[in-house]
């Protein structure tokens, strides 16, 4: 299982200052996303996940310069989320240096838009889902009734050509049983975003069979050691 560092961007900077040595008073803190990404790649990261918070609010990529700065410093895939719902937005992300894109759950209700984005991104496209039943039910679906389950929604999207999903739990602990079912019955790749704050949590997701775990503040703050997380995920 991959351990994927995540950097949340706002105004071209990381929203969380990277200072893993804060407890010992060593190292130099930084909010420069390219420096943060470079350090994690040096430590063994194979993918960097980036969330464009400004883009998510505006509906259009807003931190492309920062993406370009990251791409100029690392030679691993950059997976970008936030404001990418549209073929032109995906093209902008790729032109800036992103190599993967994550679309919001709303694309599940817009087959034409999803098809346009898939035509640009192909296998480098993922859809972000919140798998909690109450969240699925509360989402403002335009269809007559909400999907009966996240499994049904995943099957629907896989049939349309989506083969990678980012499952976000809003900080809640991931449902390991659900993840095991999804990983065991679907050919798609599942990445879990957040909800883990210790090495036992990493091991639980590893044993569930997910492809990767995306960690932001836990890694950036030093609460979870990246090298130890890699060992736990192996």
What amino acid positions are annotated as catalytic residues? 8, 130
Cβ atoms of 78 and 101 within 8 Å: the answer is: no
The whole-angstrom separation of Cα 172 and Cα 77 is 27
The whole-angstrom separation of Cα 204 and Cα 187 is 20
Strands (E), the chain: 2-10, 13-14, 48-52, 78-81, 100-103, 125-129, 164-168, 189-193, 212-215
Cβ atoms of 49 and 42 within 8 Å: the answer is: no
Q: What are the beta bridge partners of residue 49?
A: 6, 79
Closest alpha carbon to 214 in 27, 5, 32: 5
The β-bridge relationship of strands 125-129 and 78-81 is: unpaired
């Amino acid at each position: 299982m991959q351990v994927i560092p995540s950097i949340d961007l706002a105004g071209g900077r990381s929203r969380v200052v990277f200072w893993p040595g804060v407890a010992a008073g060593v190292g130099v803190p930084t909010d420069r996303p390219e420096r943060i990404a470079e350090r994690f790649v040096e430590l063994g990261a194979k993918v960097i996940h980036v969330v464009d918070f400004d883009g998510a609010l505006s509906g259009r990529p807003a931190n492309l310069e920062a993406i370009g700065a990251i791409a100029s410093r690392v030679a691993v895939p950059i997976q970008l989320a936030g404001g990418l719902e549209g073929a032109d937005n995906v093209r902008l992300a790729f032109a800036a240096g992103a190599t993967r894109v994550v679309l919001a759950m709303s694309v599940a209700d817009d087959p034409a838009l999803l098809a346009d984005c898939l035509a640009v991104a192909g296998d480098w496209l993922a859809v972000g889902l919140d798998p909690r039943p109450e969240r699925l039910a509360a989402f403002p679906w335009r269809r007559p009734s909400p999907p009966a389950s996240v499994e049904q929604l995943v099957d629907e999207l896989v049939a349309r050509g989506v083969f990678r999903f980012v499952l976000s739990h809003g900080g809640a602990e991931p449902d390991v049983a659900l993840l095991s079912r999804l990983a065991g019955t679907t050919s798609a790749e599942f990445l879990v975003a957040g909800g883990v704050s210790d090495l036992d949590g990493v091991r639980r997701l590893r044993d569930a069979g997910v492809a990767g775990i995306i960690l932001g503040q836990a890694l950036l703050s030093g609460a979870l050691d990246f090298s130890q997380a890699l060992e736990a995920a192996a």
